[in-house]
Amino acid sequence: MESAGSKPKPAKTSFKDAAIRSGLVSSERWKQVVETVGSANDDEAIADLLVQSGQVTEYQVNQLRGGRTKFTLGPYLITGWIGQGGMGQVFKAVHSVMGRECAVKTLPLEKLTSESRTAFVREIRLQAGLDSPYVVRAYDAGQDGNVHYLVTEYVPGTDLRKLVRSNGPLTMNHAAGVISQAAMGLQYAHDLGLVHRDVKPGNILVTPDGHAKVSDIGLAGYHFGGIDDPRAGKIVGTADYLSPEQIRTPSLVNPLSDIYSLGCTLYYATTGKVPFPGGDVKSKCKRHCEQTPWHPRKFVPELSEDFVDVIADMMEKDPAKRIQSAAEVAERLEPWSAATMEFIDRPIDRRSWTPPPPPKEPPPSRDHGEDLDPTSAGYSEALSQSGAASDQDLPSAMQPEIGTGSDLVFPPTGSVSLDPNLKKNDSPSLLLPIALTLAIAVPISLLVGAIIGYLIRESM
């Protein structure tokens, strides 16, 4: 198995032989595809048809063309390449029995040393004990030949770094929603005594519906030290996101170091820039310790000062002046993250899909606008229970950006104008039957007076 970007070596076997030998395609299935294509020599057309039918993936086709035939690690079938992890490559896979998609991180043979094996086993055991919706969970681990692997949940979408690079800086609401969830994941780890040590955009995974999870926590260390940590006392992390204390006293890192790195990540998410761009690693480390980054509003003037203050408080050089917990980070970001988190956490209420019972009496006429007031209690309650504001129920053209809230604006009370002609009472009057009733019990003179009064009223 190789990365998606690597060029396959010249094939020692034909595409057909590799496909059949791999077990991905049976001989009978190959014959069917050849008959459909009309040629046994058109590997391109055969591969396209196999991909379209779901028999193989694009990644597998690329590997088969290079003559590679092994796509399994234990009970897991490798279907794609995700990227490079902290200790090895990460592949997309599916369990051969359960059919569950997952991510498989491997420790490659060329990195297999006594020290790396110990570190990898430590990562496996550490991540196995983590269970939070804001942290990538571990499912399984094993060894296939000389390859050690760790199986984690597959998080669809992309990481925050790629998201910003492809779409540009996030809005304040969107960024706050992502970073708040990452903060809750870090708080969970900190409560267990762990320090991530490598918080950065590439280690925050973001799904299409806005969920965010912290990855690579298995590489964390205990902030109170530990004899089983092979990286204790060493500078661990990525230069663009290192805290000053990680650089000066790496043996004394604590949860506050993660908060600084998360602040740098929030800076990047909202500006599209790392705090200290340019220069080598030594230069970046020096600036983290001594300099202040450019004001975020230099790049994005729309950022509010209150929002920028949160970033600044997360990136204080002195840990004692920094925001003191990841939970506090989430709390400080709540004014901007609330809309995003409400959308993400909104429960599905099946009652909203049940048609209402038939009315006991005919509804009032809409001609007079009684039910058009969107601020009425009944209207608001029905809307809140209907789920109509869910992005997933809206046509794509109407979906608001995650974190910005809905653009739907209700008119203020009393702003619904009515046709003046509709204000005239066109319903049958009650005066005529009253007059007839009175005629039975009163003299004719009174009856005539009542009728005249009725006619005068009708002519008005």
The topology (CATH level 3) of 158-344 is: Transferase(Phosphotransferase); domain 1 (1.10.510)
Q: Is 309 a catalytic residue?
A: no
| Distance set, CA 251 to CA 72, 77, 284, 371 (Å) | 40, 40, 20, 67
Model confidence at 43: pLDDT above 70: yes
pLDDT digits over 210-237, tens only? 999 999 876 555 544 554 555 555 667 7
pLDDT exceeding 70 applies to what percent of the chain?
A: 65
pLDDT digits over 72-102, tens only? 999 999 999 998 766 678 999 999 999 999 9
- Amino acid code (one letter) for 399: Q
Model confidence at 381: pLDDT above 50: no
Confidence tier at 8 by pLDDT (50, 70, 90)? low
Contact (CB, 8 A) for 232 and 226: yes
On whether the pTM is more than 0.75, the answer is no
Contact (CB, 8 A) for 216 and 130: no
Helices (H), 129-219: 160-167, 172-191
Q: Which of 159, 198, 240, 258 is catalytic?
A: 198
Contact (CB, 8 A) for 209 and 113: no
pLDDT digits over 235-270, tens only? 677 899 999 999 998 878 899 999 999 999 999 999
pLDDT digits over 105-130, tens only? 887 666 667 776 777 777 777 777 78
Confidence tier at 347 by pLDDT (50, 70, 90)? very low
The structure tokens listed for 408 are: 């739907």
**Does 234 carry a binding-site annotation?**
no
Model confidence at 404: pLDDT above 50: no
The topology (CATH level 3) of 76-154 is: Phosphorylase Kinase; domain 1 (3.30.200)
- For residue 393, the model assigns a pLDDT of 30
Confidence tier at 419 by pLDDT (50, 70, 90)? very low
